[in-house]
Amino acid sequence: MLDLQEKVPFTDWIESIFKLPLLDYPGDIFPSWGNSSNEYMRNHHDKEMLLVMKRTLYSSSLTCIESALHGLNHWVGNYRERIHQIIDKFLSNRGELPPEIHEQAEWAKKGTMP
């Protein structure tokens, strides 16, 4: 477990969250939409959040994959090109996935995921 007083990279902190027991949480755990007006946030926080969502696409859990696609869907307005690269690479590298995941991925690229 990470010491909350210790300064740690954001990705290390996020990864520690993934080690917690799964909870039935009815909403976004990290509500963030990639629309930071602060330059530091765009260059650091946003970059780290995109990395977490990208890495989550390679989870063995379909629920985690859906969650990552949902998050990327929120970010496509400000990071369209990067989101398209992430999703296209995911779809080409993952092999067989349920049709619903492909459909959600296409919605996420358009920012129209329900």
What integer pLDDT is reported at residue 30 of this predicted model? 53
- Mark out the alpha helices in 3-98 (DSSP H runs): 10-18, 39-40, 46-56, 62-75, 80-93
pTM higher than the cut 0.75: no
Tokens encoding 72: 């990327």
- The one-letter amino acid at 71: G
pLDDT digits (tens, 9 = 90+) for 53-105: 999 999 888 888 998 999 999 889 889 999 999 999 999 998 889 999 999 99
pLDDT digits (tens, 9 = 90+) for 9-60: 555 555 555 554 444 444 555 556 566 666 776 677 788 888 989 999 998 8
